[in-house]
Amino acid sequence: MLIETKGLKKIYSIDGSETPAVNGINLEIKEGEFVAIIGPSGSGKSTLLQILGCLDRPTGGEYFFDGKEIEKYSDDELAHLRNKKFGFVFQSFNLLGRLSVLENVELPLIYAGIPELKRREMAVKVIGSVGLSDRVDFETMRLSGGQKQRVAIARALVNEPRIIFADEPTGNLDSKSGEIILEFFEKLHEDGHTIVLVTHETYLAESAERIIYLKDGLIEREEIVNHKSFRENKFSK
Amino acid sequence: MKFRDNLKMSYSGLTTHMSRSVLTILGIVIGITAIIIVMSLGQSAQNLIVGEIQSMGPETIVVLPGKQPKGLSDVGGSIFGDSLKERDFKDLSKKENVPDAVNVGPVVFSQINSSYGSETYDTMILGVSPSMFKTFGLEVNPPGTLFGSNDVNEKSSVVILGNKAQTELFGNSDSIGEKIKIKGKNFKVIGVLIKKGQSSFVNFDDHIIAPYTTVQDLSGLKYFNRIAVTAKSVEAIPSVIKDIELVLRTNHKIDDPKNDDFYIQTQEDLVKSISSITDILTIFLGSVAAISLVVGGIGIMNIMFVSVTERTREIGLRKALGATNKNILVQFLTEAVILTVTGGVIGIIFGTGLTALTVVVLNKFAGINFSFSFPIDGALLGLFVSSAVGFIFGIFPARKASLKSPIEALRYE
Ligand SMILES: Nc1ncnc2c1ncn2[C@@H]1O[C@H](COP(=O)(O)OP(=O)(O)OP(=O)(O)O)[C@@H](O)[C@H]1O
Ligand SMILES: [Mg+2]
């Protein structure tokens, strides 16, 4: 099991008022799986993803990554984990606008201490795989939304992570660009990548193998997607 | 993560806010400029003192015209005074008037332009008596010769070239016996000084030397700029001074020492007056440096705090991509240090330039032969201080940046 949580909790407390954003979640994700997390706004999807991605620490429960409890990890060890094992794609892209496509994609490699030439080679390769070879030296602020998200995907992939976390990656895109992004995820999955995708749109969730329904910080139900019926469904739309 | 990558990263962070960065380092520039001036003027003054003492020996005292200057601004009075006349020199030279003096020599100088063929050289012509060669330790290379008392009596048109004057006018060619032109008159070169290489109150290497009567004639001077008196020993100096004062006050009809139109400078006085001037300068510029460095440092700290806040999302993102607290700390600290060191380098350039300018002005208008050399010590100190300021004032903002939680930072708007 790549990811396993037991009674995972995240309670935000601000000025004495407590919000249990994640309220005891038991979850398992296998290597190579494509899991979608879906649920209404405020149900704790983003919070859960941030904890799984070690961007934040849980306030309760246990989280095992690759069999290891990460609770006792130091900040540096978590940074290392994010750098080597995780790739992130955010709704708001989070690129450094003044840097070029190449420089943005290289960032994780810099923190991994990979030498410049090797770095460049690796980055150029993934940039090619998201179809942006002709934009390598473009400042990212000059790109369209769809292109920006492809840069973000390239950046998430460049370190050859064990798992990719995506929080509403198509949320800021029109449906055409969203489609392209989704196709990338499907292709990545076919290539064997593990993907956790947060969304609140059912049709997006249905490209995953398994859908986890969240409500009020708890798993309401899980569902295995029958891809055949899904494709027909999509076709008839 | 490699340091070079870090430098690049910090550099691009800074260039994003170029004008802000430039304004921020102004305080550092001023501070380091002040440090450089203190260090290099101090060094030049040191050279001056050392040179002076070495060139004349501690037994030689100098009589100057005018009132004793009380500060830098008074220097003019001693240069333009005309109270030391031929008669004073004659009287001081009499053994019965100043029994402990072993040598008395007049000095006159004048700014001139010399030429040989198409070569010209702006310099000072120094008029001395033959007895001064020993006082100042001047020698010429054979077959050149020094001039003698005949030349003084006859106001001979002969000159001895300082080393630099020789090079400027003749290059490597032989100059002995050649005629150079000064103020339209011809002067025969009879010798070239052996390079002393030592800067002093009068740097003979740069100048042209002639009998004092010749120089007085040439420039229409009826007085002396200096009279140098060598006592038989350092212990005899006080009695020599007394005798000189007596002679000059009698000659100038002065009853009250307050009205003296001359003053006497011993080597010790010179060292004292120069060091008191440099002390004041050092204290003043030192405080300027300290204040502007602290103010500049606070400015840097302020701007770094602003920058850390503005770039909260960037920090969050970098952490999400694997930057450790230390990576972030080093990035922001490097930015602060780049800023201050840039300020430091500009300060070093300014300070060096200003010092060079001061030295040129002093040489040209005050006739003080300050030597100037690039203040390596000062430059190193400047670099060290400016990076230390960056470090000290950058560490708090950088720490603040490094301790941000990745998700809080990413959420920041
Ligand atoms: N930093 C925070 N401090 C306090 N409360 C928070 C914080 N972040 C989220 N919450 C609360 O936790 C709950 C879950 O938020 P979360 O962002 O995980 O929801 P979500 O499912 O991602 O919603 P959406 O679909 O709108 O993105 C919400 O009630 C939210 O107000
Ligand atoms: Mg969300």
Per-residue pLDDT of A202-223, as tens digits, reads 888 988 999 999 999 999 999 9
**What whole-number distance in Å separates Cα of residue B116 and Cα of residue B110?**
19
Is B223:B252 a contact under the CB 8 Å cutoff? no
**How much is the pLDDT for B136?**
77
Judge if the beta carbon of residue A44 lies within 6 A of ligand 1: yes
B104 with B206, same domain: the answer is yes
**What whole-number distance in Å separates Cα of residue A87 and Cα of residue B320?**
9
Q: How far is the CA of B260 from the centre of ligand 2 (A)?
A: 92
Query: Apex CA B43: angle with CA B39 and CA B44, to 5°?
Result: 120
Q: How many CA atoms lie within 13 A of A154 on its CB side?
A: 31
Is A19:A213 a contact under the CB 8 Å cutoff? no
The string of pLDDT tens digits covering residues B377-410 is 889 999 999 999 999 999 999 999 999 999 888 8
Q: Is residue B266 part of a domain?
A: no
**How much is the pLDDT for B389?**
94
Q: How far is the CA of A13 from the centre of ligand 1 (A)?
A: 12
Judge if the beta carbon of residue A9 lies within 6 A of ligand 1: no
- A236 confidence band (pLDDT: 50, 70, 90): very low
**How much is the pLDDT for B20?**
79
**What whole-number distance in Å separates Cα of residue B78 and Cα of residue B201?**
14
Q: How far is the CA of A91 from the centre of ligand 2 (A)?
A: 9
N residues, chain A: 237
- Lowest-confidence range among B59-73, B106-120, B125-139? B59-73
Determine, for residues A111 and B318 on separate chains, whether the beta-carbon distance falls below 8 Å.
yes
Q: What number is the average pLDDT over the span A193-207? A: 90
Choose between B258 and A148: higher pLDDT: A148
Give the range with max mean pLDDT: A150-154, B122-126, B159-163, B360-364.
Answer: A150-154
Q: How far is the CA of A176 from the centre of ligand 1 (A)?
A: 28
N residues, chain B: 413
Which residues of chain B have a CB within 8 Å of the CB of A115? 2
Give the range with max mean pLDDT: A112-126, A223-237, B194-208.
Answer: A112-126
B305 with B204, same domain: the answer is no
- The residue whose two tokens read 């009020």 is A216
- Helix/strand/coil (H/E/C) assignment for every residue in A90-110: CCCCCCCCCCEHHHHHHHHHH
Q: Is residue B41 part of a domain?
A: yes
**How much is the pLDDT for A106?**
95
Is B369:B202 a contact under the CB 8 Å cutoff? yes
Query: Can you name the CATH fold of A3-235?
Result: Rossmann fold (3.40.50)
Please tell me which residue of chain A has the smallest CA distance to B331: A111
B162 with B242, same domain: the answer is yes
Instruction: Work out the minimum CA distance from A213 to partner chain B, whole angstroms.
Output: 23
Give Cα separations from B294 to B29, B30, B236 (angstroms). 12, 11, 51
Q: Is residue B222 part of a domain?
A: yes
Ligand 1 atom nearest the C-alpha of A198 is 22
B119 with B194, same domain: the answer is yes
3 state SS of A150: helix
Which residues of chain B have a CB within 8 Å of the CB of A159? 322
Partner residues linked to B223 by β-bridges: B85
**What whole-number distance in Å separates Cα of residue B413 and Cα of residue B397?**
19
Q: Is B1 on the interface with A (CB under 8 A)?
A: yes
Residue B118 class from Cβ within 10 Å (0-12 exposed, 13-18 middle, 19+ buried)? exposed
Residues 312-331 of B with CB under 8 A from A: 313-314, 317-327
Q: Is residue B332 part of a domain?
A: yes
Determine, for residues A84 and B406 on separate chains, whether the beta-carbon distance falls below 8 Å.
no
B281 with B256, same domain: the answer is no
Q: What number is the average pLDDT over the span A99-126? A: 95
Angle between helices B26-56 and B267-310 (to 10 degrees): 160
Q: What number is the average pLDDT over the span B20-44? A: 84
Judge if the beta carbon of residue A41 lies within 6 A of ligand 1: yes
Please tell me which residue of chain B has the smallest CA distance to A116: B5
**What whole-number distance in Å separates Cα of residue A41 and Cα of residue A21?**
11
Angle between helices B376-402 and B26-56 (to 10 degrees): 160
The string of pLDDT tens digits covering residues A5-59 is 999 999 999 888 999 999 999 999 999 999 999 999 999 999 999 999 999 999 9
- Lowest-confidence range among A211-215, B99-103, B322-326? B99-103
**Ligand having the closest approach to the CA of A11:** 1
> Closest Cα to atom 26, ligand 1: which residue?
A41
Closest Cβ opposite residue A110 in set B1, B313, B325:
B1
Nearest by Cα to B313 from B222, B413, B380, B173: B413
3 state SS of A69: strand
**How much is the pLDDT for B199?**
41
Closest Cβ opposite residue B322 in set A79, A98, A99:
A79
**How much is the pLDDT for A222?**
93
Predicted structure pTM score = 0.70
Which residues of chain B have a CB within 8 Å of the CB of A79? 319, 322-325, 327
Q: Is B5 on the interface with A (CB under 8 A)?
A: yes
- B18 confidence band (pLDDT: 50, 70, 90): confident
Which residues of chain B have a CB within 8 Å of the CB of A53? 320
Q: Is residue B381 part of a domain?
A: yes
Q: How far apart are the first and last CA of chain B?
A: 28
B231 with B111, same domain: the answer is yes
Which residues of chain A have a CB within 8 Å of the CB of B319? 55, 79, 82
**How much is the pLDDT for B309?**
92
Compute CA B127 distance to the chain's CA centroid, rounded to the nearest angstrom: 24
Secondary structure (DSSP) of A171-195: TTS-HHHHHHHHHHHHHHHHTT-EE
B19 with B90, same domain: the answer is no
- Lowest-confidence range among A97-101, B241-245, B400-404? B241-245
Please tell me which residue of chain A has the smallest CA distance to B325: A76
Which residues of chain B have a CB within 8 Å of the CB of A58? none
Judge if the beta carbon of residue A217 lies within 6 A of ligand 1: no
Nearest by Cα to B46 from B200, B195, B196, B197: B200
Which residues of chain B have a CB within 8 Å of the CB of A55? 319-320, 406-407, 410
Query: Apex CA B205: angle with CA B200 and CA B207, to 5°?
Result: 100
**What whole-number distance in Å separates Cα of residue A95 and Cα of residue A103?**
10
Is B125:B187 a contact under the CB 8 Å cutoff? no
**What whole-number distance in Å separates Cα of residue B402 and Cα of residue B226?**
68
pLDDT for B115 beyond 50: yes
Q: Is A99 on the interface with B (CB under 8 A)?
A: yes
The string of pLDDT tens digits covering residues B157-181 is 899 988 888 888 888 888 888 889 8
Q: How far is the CA of B137 from the centre of ligand 1 (A)?
A: 90
B162 with B310, same domain: the answer is no
B276 with B376, same domain: the answer is yes
Please tell me which residue of chain A has the smallest CA distance to B14: A98
Q: Is residue B57 part of a domain?
A: no
| DSSP state at residue A141 | G
pLDDT, chain B, mean:
83
Q: Is B310 on the interface with A (CB under 8 A)?
A: no
Q: Is residue B322 part of a domain?
A: yes
**What whole-number distance in Å separates Cα of residue B246 and Cα of residue B228?**
16
Structural domain that includes position B384:
3-52+272-411
Q: Return the number of other C-beta atoms located less than 10 Å from residue B282's C-beta.
A: 19
Judge if the beta carbon of residue A129 lies within 6 A of ligand 1: no
| DSSP state at residue A198 | E
Please tell me which residue of chain B has the smallest CA distance to A159: B321
% of chain A residues with pLDDT over 70: 95
Give Cα separations from B197 to B51, B52, B131, B340, B357 (angstroms). 10, 12, 22, 38, 22
Is B225:B79 a contact under the CB 8 Å cutoff? yes
In A12-158, where does DSSP find H-type helix?
45-52, 75-84, 101-111, 116-129, 145-157
Determine, for residues A82 and B321 on separate chains, whether the beta-carbon distance falls below 8 Å.
yes
pLDDT, chain A, mean:
91
3 state SS of A159: coil
Boundary-marking domain end, from B214, B229, B260: B260
Choose between B100 and B204: higher pLDDT: B100
B88 with B115, same domain: the answer is yes
pLDDT for A228 beyond 60: no
Closest Cβ opposite residue A56 in set B5, B318, B407:
B407
B242 with B278, same domain: the answer is no
The string of pLDDT tens digits covering residues B57-91 is 778 888 888 776 665 555 544 444 778 888 888 88
Residue A10 has which token pair?
């995240």
- A76 confidence band (pLDDT: 50, 70, 90): very high
Q: Which of A90, A111, A117, A157 to mutate to test the interface with B (most CBs of B within 10 A)?
A: A111
**What whole-number distance in Å separates Cα of residue B288 and Cα of residue B296?**
12
B170 with B317, same domain: the answer is no
Is A81:A3 a contact under the CB 8 Å cutoff? no
Quote the number of domains for chain B. 2
**What whole-number distance in Å separates Cα of residue B205 and Cα of residue B195?**
6
Q: What number is the average pLDDT over the span B251-261? A: 79
Ligand 1 atom nearest the C-alpha of A47 is 18
pLDDT for A164 beyond 50: yes
**What whole-number distance in Å separates Cα of residue A46 and Cα of residue A218?**
13
pLDDT for B195 beyond 80: no
**How much is the pLDDT for A235?**
47
Instruction: Work out the minimum CA distance from B44 to partner chain A, whole angstroms.
Output: 48
The string of pLDDT tens digits covering residues B294-323 is 999 999 999 999 999 999 999 999 999 999
